[in-house]
Amino acid sequence: MSPPTMQSRAPSRSAAPPAPRRRLGAGRSGQVFEEFQADGSRLACKVFLPDRASSIVNTVLTGAVNPYRWDRHAVECAVLRRRILETLVAGWFAGRVRLPATDGACWNESARAFELRAELIAGRHAMLRHPLAGVAATETAELVREVLHPLQGHLEAAGFDGLLWQAGRGNPVAAANFMRAEEGDRARWVWIDAESGVPALFPLNPWYLLRTYLPLCVKHERPLFDDVDVPRLRAYVMESQKALTERLGERGVARLRADVDALEASQARWRSLPRHRRSVASYQATGKITREQARHYIDKPVRWLARLAGRACVRAPAKLWGVVRPWVAKLNPRHVAAALGRYGRFFLSQDVRTRWARRHVRRRVLDWRGRGFLDLNGVRAVRESMAGGNAAEYVADFGVHLAIKPAIKLMVWGLIPALKMMGVIDSWWLVGALAVYGGAIGRTVYTLGRTVQALIRGRPAPWIALAAGLLPIVGNAAYPLQLLAATHARDGLVARFLVHDILSGVGRRLPIWGGKDTLMEHWFNRLACLVTRA
Ligand SMILES: Nc1ncnc2c1ncn2[C@@H]1O[C@H](COP(=O)(O)OP(=O)(O)O)[C@@H](O)[C@H]1O
Ligand SMILES: [Mg+2]
Does the pLDDT of residue 532 top 90, yes or no? no
Residues sharing a CB contact under 8 Å with residue 508, sequence separation 6 or more, in sequence order: 514, 515, 516, 518, 520, 521
pLDDT above 80: residue 223: yes
Provide the pLDDT confidence category of residue 13 given band limits of 50, 70 and 90.
very low
**Residue 147 CB partners (closer than 8 Å, separation 6+):** 93, 97, 178, 189
The residue whose CA is least distant from atom 1 of ligand 1 is: 120
The mean predicted confidence, pLDDT, of the chain is 90
CA 298 to chain centre: 35
pLDDT at 184: 85
Q: What is the pLDDT of residue 9?
A: 36
Q: What does the alpha-carbon distance between residue 511 and residue 171 come to, in Å, rounded to a whole number?
A: 13
Q: Work out which ligand 1 atom sits closest to the CA atom of 120.
A: 3
Q: What is the pLDDT of residues 337-352, one digit of tens each?
A: 998 899 889 888 878 8
Among 143-157, 384-398, 484-498, the range scoring the smallest mean pLDDT is: 484-498
pTM above 0.85, yes or no: yes
User: Does the pLDDT of residue 462 top 60, yes or no?
Assistant: yes
Residue 153 C-alpha to ligand 1 middle, in angstroms? 23
> For residue 2, is pLDDT > 90?
no
Residue 487's pLDDT is 60
Whether the CB-CB separation of 493 and 131 falls below 8 Å is answered with yes
Amino acid at 76: E
Q: Confidence band (pLDDT; 50, 70, 90) for 7?
A: very low
Task: Give the per-residue pLDDT at 531.
Answer: 78
Q: Are strands 178-183 and 22-26 parallel, antiparallel or unpaired?
A: unpaired
d(CA 323, CA 327): 8
pLDDT at residue 241, as a whole number? 95
Biggest CA pair distance of the chain? 85
Q: What is the whole-number distance in angstroms between the Cα of residue 30 and the centre of ligand 2?
A: 8
C-alpha to C-alpha distance for 168 and 161, rounded to whole angstroms:
12
Angle formed by the axes of helices 428-456 and 391-410, nearest 10°: 150
Query: Rounded to whole angstroms, how far apart are CA atoms 271 and 139?
Result: 38
Name the closest ligand to CA 195.
1
How far out from the chain centre does Cα 307 lie? 34
Q: Yes or no: say if 11 and 105 are a contact pair by the CB < 8 Å rule.
A: yes
Alpha carbon of 204 to ligand 2 centroid (Å): 16
Of all protein residues, whose CA lies closest to atom 24 belonging to ligand 1?
25
What distance in Å separates the CA atoms of residue 321 and residue 74, rounded to the nearest whole number? 34
If you measure from the C-alpha of residue 300 to the centroid of ligand 2, how many angstroms do you get, rounded to a whole number? 36
Instruction: Give the pLDDT of residue 11.
Output: 44
- Upper half-sphere CA count for residue 528 (Cβ side, 13 Å): 29
Q: What is the pLDDT of residue 19?
A: 55
> Under a CB-based contact definition with an 8 Å cutoff, are residues 193 and 27 in contact?
yes
**Are 464 and 481 spatial neighbours (Cβ–Cβ below 8 Å)?**
yes
Pocket perturbation via mutation, ligand 1, pick of 28, 45, 46, 521 by most ligand atoms within 8 A of CB: 46
Instruction: Please tell me the residue having the least CA distance from ligand 1 atom 23.
Output: 27
- Length of the chain measured in residues: 534
Atom 8 of ligand 1, nearest CA residue:
192
* Ligand 1 first shell, C-beta below 6 A: 24-30, 32, 44, 46, 100, 118, 120-121, 176-177, 192-193, 195, 197
Asked if pLDDT for residue 5 goes beyond 70, the answer is: no
pLDDT of residue 21: 82
Peptide bond into 480 cis (omega under 30): no
- Residue 20: which pLDDT band, with cuts at 50, 70 and 90? low
Extract the runs of DSSP E, i.e. beta strands, from 49-101: 97-98
Q: Where are the domains of the chain?
A: 4-295, 300-330, 333-532
**Of 173, 253, 208, nearest in space to 517 by CA:** 173
Band of residue 451 on the pLDDT scale cut at 50, 70, 90: very high
Q: What proportion of the chain, given as a percentage, has pLDDT over 70?
A: 94
**pLDDT at position 67 over 80:** yes
Say what the pLDDT of residue 281 is: 97
Would you say residue 513 has pLDDT above 70?
Answer: yes
Supply the DSSP symbol for 168. Answer: T
> Taking residues 174-193, what's their average pLDDT?
95
Instruction: Encode 39-63 in three state secondary structure.
Output: CCCEEEEEECCCCHHHHHHHHHHHC
User: pLDDT tens-digit profile of 275-316?
Assistant: 999 999 999 999 999 999 999 999 999 999 999 999 999 999
The DSSP code for 263 is H
* Cα of 198 from ligand 2 centre, angstroms: 11
Task: Give the full edge-to-edge strand order of the sheet including 42-47.
Answer: 22-26, 31-36, 42-47, 113-119, 102-108
| Cβ burial, residue 370 (10 Å; 0-12/13-18/19+) | exposed
